[in-house]
Amino acid sequence: MGPYHTMLVHFPIAFWVTATVIIFVRAVSSGKLALAFDRVLVPFLFLGTLTGIAAWFIGTLVWPADTLQTSPLGRNHMMAASWSLIYWTVLMLMRWTVGPAIWDSVLNRVIMLLLGGLGGVLLIITATIGGHLAGSATFLTEILRMIGWEVYATFYLPNWMLVVLVALIVLMPVLALFGRRSA
Protein backbone atom coordinates (compact mmCIF):
# COMPACT_ATOMS: atom_id res chain seq x y z
CA MET A 1 0.00 0.00 0.00
CA GLY A 2 3.02 2.29 0.33
CA PRO A 3 3.03 3.51 -3.28
CA TYR A 4 -0.74 4.14 -3.17
CA HIS A 5 -0.37 6.15 0.01
CA THR A 6 2.46 8.15 -1.56
CA MET A 7 0.25 8.86 -4.57
CA LEU A 8 -2.84 9.74 -2.54
CA VAL A 9 -1.17 12.14 -0.10
CA HIS A 10 -0.43 14.52 -2.95
CA PHE A 11 -4.11 15.44 -3.11
CA PRO A 12 -4.73 16.66 0.46
CA ILE A 13 -1.31 18.29 0.44
CA ALA A 14 -2.25 20.20 -2.71
CA PHE A 15 -5.63 21.27 -1.31
CA TRP A 16 -4.30 22.26 2.08
CA VAL A 17 -1.29 24.13 0.72
CA THR A 18 -3.66 26.03 -1.56
CA ALA A 19 -5.91 26.70 1.43
CA THR A 20 -2.93 28.10 3.32
CA VAL A 21 -2.25 30.50 0.45
CA ILE A 22 -5.92 31.50 0.30
CA ILE A 23 -6.03 32.19 4.03
CA PHE A 24 -2.88 34.29 3.76
CA VAL A 25 -4.22 36.32 0.83
CA ARG A 26 -7.63 36.85 2.42
CA ALA A 27 -6.11 37.80 5.74
CA VAL A 28 -4.13 40.64 4.19
CA SER A 29 -6.55 41.74 1.50
CA SER A 30 -10.23 42.40 0.84
CA GLY A 31 -9.74 42.85 -2.87
CA LYS A 32 -11.67 41.04 -5.58
CA LEU A 33 -9.10 38.28 -5.93
CA ALA A 34 -9.02 37.71 -2.17
CA LEU A 35 -12.81 37.55 -2.02
CA ALA A 36 -12.88 35.13 -4.94
CA PHE A 37 -10.25 33.00 -3.23
CA ASP A 38 -12.30 32.98 -0.03
CA ARG A 39 -15.37 31.71 -1.89
CA VAL A 40 -13.52 28.52 -2.82
CA LEU A 41 -11.86 28.07 0.58
CA VAL A 42 -14.51 25.78 2.05
CA PRO A 43 -14.79 23.59 -1.08
CA PHE A 44 -11.01 23.26 -1.18
CA LEU A 45 -10.90 22.36 2.49
CA PHE A 46 -13.72 19.89 1.99
CA LEU A 47 -11.83 18.18 -0.83
CA GLY A 48 -8.74 18.23 1.35
CA THR A 49 -10.63 16.45 4.10
CA LEU A 50 -12.08 13.83 1.75
CA THR A 51 -8.75 13.01 0.12
CA GLY A 52 -7.04 13.35 3.50
CA ILE A 53 -9.27 10.68 4.99
CA ALA A 54 -8.51 8.39 2.05
CA ALA A 55 -4.75 8.98 2.36
CA TRP A 56 -4.85 8.49 6.14
CA PHE A 57 -6.78 5.25 5.81
CA ILE A 58 -4.51 3.84 3.10
CA GLY A 59 -1.53 4.96 5.19
CA THR A 60 -2.64 2.75 8.06
CA LEU A 61 -2.51 -0.23 5.70
CA VAL A 62 1.12 0.27 4.60
CA TRP A 63 2.29 -1.74 7.61
CA PRO A 64 0.38 -3.79 10.15
CA ALA A 65 -0.91 -1.55 12.95
CA ASP A 66 1.50 -3.08 15.45
CA THR A 67 4.47 -2.45 13.18
CA LEU A 68 3.51 1.15 12.53
CA GLN A 69 2.88 1.86 16.20
CA THR A 70 6.18 0.25 17.23
CA SER A 71 8.32 2.52 15.08
CA PRO A 72 9.08 6.01 16.47
CA LEU A 73 8.99 7.45 12.96
CA GLY A 74 5.76 5.56 12.27
CA ARG A 75 4.20 6.82 15.48
CA ASN A 76 5.25 10.41 14.77
CA HIS A 77 3.96 10.26 11.22
CA MET A 78 0.65 8.79 12.31
CA MET A 79 0.29 11.44 15.00
CA ALA A 80 1.17 14.33 12.70
CA ALA A 81 -1.08 12.98 9.96
CA SER A 82 -3.99 12.56 12.37
CA TRP A 83 -3.53 16.06 13.75
CA SER A 84 -3.25 17.53 10.25
CA LEU A 85 -6.41 15.84 9.11
CA ILE A 86 -8.38 16.89 12.20
CA TYR A 87 -6.91 20.38 12.16
CA TRP A 88 -7.79 21.17 8.55
CA THR A 89 -11.20 19.56 8.95
CA VAL A 90 -12.16 21.69 11.94
CA LEU A 91 -10.74 24.75 10.17
CA MET A 92 -13.14 23.97 7.33
CA LEU A 93 -16.02 23.64 9.80
CA MET A 94 -15.00 26.94 11.41
CA ARG A 95 -14.98 28.83 8.14
CA TRP A 96 -18.20 27.13 7.08
CA THR A 97 -20.14 27.83 10.27
CA VAL A 98 -18.76 31.29 11.02
CA GLY A 99 -19.07 32.51 7.43
CA PRO A 100 -17.45 35.69 6.03
CA ALA A 101 -17.49 37.21 9.52
CA ILE A 102 -14.38 35.22 10.18
CA TRP A 103 -12.50 38.05 8.41
CA ASP A 104 -14.37 40.90 10.13
CA SER A 105 -11.72 42.47 12.31
CA VAL A 106 -7.97 42.84 12.27
CA LEU A 107 -7.76 40.49 15.23
CA ASN A 108 -9.86 37.91 13.42
CA ARG A 109 -7.57 38.10 10.41
CA VAL A 110 -4.46 37.79 12.54
CA ILE A 111 -5.98 34.74 14.18
CA MET A 112 -6.80 33.20 10.80
CA LEU A 113 -3.31 34.00 9.56
CA LEU A 114 -1.80 32.21 12.55
CA LEU A 115 -4.14 29.27 12.11
CA GLY A 116 -3.32 28.98 8.42
CA GLY A 117 0.38 29.12 9.24
CA LEU A 118 0.06 26.47 11.92
CA GLY A 119 -1.81 24.22 9.49
CA GLY A 120 0.98 24.66 6.97
CA VAL A 121 3.60 23.80 9.58
CA LEU A 122 1.69 20.67 10.57
CA LEU A 123 1.55 19.66 6.95
CA ILE A 124 5.30 20.15 6.51
CA ILE A 125 6.02 18.10 9.63
CA THR A 126 3.76 15.29 8.46
CA ALA A 127 5.32 15.23 5.00
CA THR A 128 8.87 15.42 6.37
CA ILE A 129 8.36 12.42 8.62
CA GLY A 130 6.54 10.58 5.86
CA GLY A 131 9.54 11.20 3.62
CA HIS A 132 11.79 9.65 6.25
CA LEU A 133 9.57 6.60 6.44
CA ALA A 134 9.68 6.24 2.69
CA GLY A 135 13.47 6.54 2.74
CA SER A 136 13.71 10.14 1.50
CA ALA A 137 15.07 12.23 4.35
CA THR A 138 15.31 15.99 3.84
CA PHE A 139 17.10 18.87 5.49
CA LEU A 140 13.80 19.89 7.08
CA THR A 141 14.57 17.30 9.73
CA GLU A 142 17.39 19.56 10.90
CA ILE A 143 14.98 22.47 11.23
CA LEU A 144 12.64 20.36 13.32
CA ARG A 145 15.61 19.32 15.43
CA MET A 146 16.53 22.97 15.94
CA ILE A 147 13.06 23.78 17.27
CA GLY A 148 13.25 20.84 19.64
CA TRP A 149 11.61 17.95 17.80
CA GLU A 150 13.86 14.97 17.15
CA VAL A 151 11.90 13.05 14.54
CA TYR A 152 13.62 9.77 15.46
CA ALA A 153 12.19 10.05 18.98
CA THR A 154 8.52 9.43 19.61
CA PHE A 155 6.58 12.60 20.40
CA TYR A 156 4.79 11.95 23.67
CA LEU A 157 3.94 14.05 26.69
CA PRO A 158 4.44 13.40 30.39
CA ASN A 159 1.35 12.73 32.48
CA TRP A 160 1.26 16.17 34.07
CA MET A 161 1.25 17.77 30.64
CA LEU A 162 -1.61 15.52 29.57
CA VAL A 163 -3.55 16.85 32.58
CA VAL A 164 -2.76 20.39 31.41
CA LEU A 165 -4.16 19.53 27.99
CA VAL A 166 -7.37 18.20 29.54
CA ALA A 167 -7.68 21.46 31.48
CA LEU A 168 -7.17 23.47 28.29
CA ILE A 169 -9.71 21.38 26.43
CA VAL A 170 -12.31 22.26 29.05
CA LEU A 171 -11.23 25.85 29.72
CA MET A 172 -11.15 27.22 26.16
CA PRO A 173 -14.85 26.63 25.33
CA VAL A 174 -15.85 27.96 28.76
CA LEU A 175 -13.92 31.18 28.13
CA ALA A 176 -15.44 31.39 24.66
CA LEU A 177 -18.96 31.01 26.04
CA PHE A 178 -18.37 33.84 28.51
CA GLY A 179 -16.56 36.00 25.99
CA ARG A 180 -19.09 35.77 23.16
CA ARG A 181 -21.81 37.39 25.28
CA SER A 182 -19.89 40.64 25.44
CA ALA A 183 -19.02 43.20 22.77
Partner 1 sequence: MLKRTQAKLLVMGLFGGGLLLSLATHGSGVIANDPDRNIWIPDDLTMPLELQVAYNDEDILFRYRWPTDHPNLFIDMLRFDGERWVRHGGSPVGPEPDAMYEDRVTMLVDDGSIPEFQRYGGYITVGDGMRYFTEAASRAEIAEHPVLGPEGRADIRKHLPATRSDPDDWTTLVDPGELAAQREAGYFLDLWHWRAHRSNPLDVSDDQYIAQYRFGDSGRGPYFTNWDSDGGHPSLMFDAEQVGFHALRWEEVSRNNPDPESIYYLAEDFAVPFDPDHAWQEGDVIPRRALRQPAGSRGAIRVDGPARWNDGWWDVTLRRALDTGYPLEDKIMHHGGVYDIGVAVHRDATGARWHYVSMPYQVGLGRNADIAAHRFTGARPNWDEVPPFEMTLFYPGQVSWPRLNSETHAGADSIRAGVPVRFRHNEAQLAQYGVEIEFEAAIRRQWMLTLLLGVGLIISFALSASLLLRRREEEG
Q: Give the residues lining the site for partner 1 (CB under 8 A).
A: 63-64, 66-72, 74-75, 78-79, 82-83, 86-87, 90-91, 93-94, 97-99, 101-102, 104, 107-108, 111, 114-115, 118, 133, 135, 147-150, 152-162, 164-166, 168-173, 175-183
Return the CA Rg of the chain.
Answer: 18
Helix residue ranges per DSSP H, 60-158: 65-68, 72-98, 106-133, 140-146
Give the end-to-end CA distance of the chain in Å, rounded to a whole number. Answer: 52
Min separation Cβ 73 and partner 1, Å: 8
The nearest distance, CB 37 to partner 1, in angstroms, is 18
Closest to partner 1 by CB, 2 or 43:
2
In angstroms, rounded to a whole number, what is the distance separating the alpha carbons of residues 58 and 63?
Answer: 10
- Nearest to 73, CA basis, from 85, 86, 90, 59: 59
Q: How far is the CB of 174 from partner 1 (least distance, A)?
A: 9
Residue number with CB closer to partner 1 (32 or 159):
159
Shortest spacing between CB 167 and partner 1, in angstroms = 9
- CB 141 within 8 Å of CB 52: no
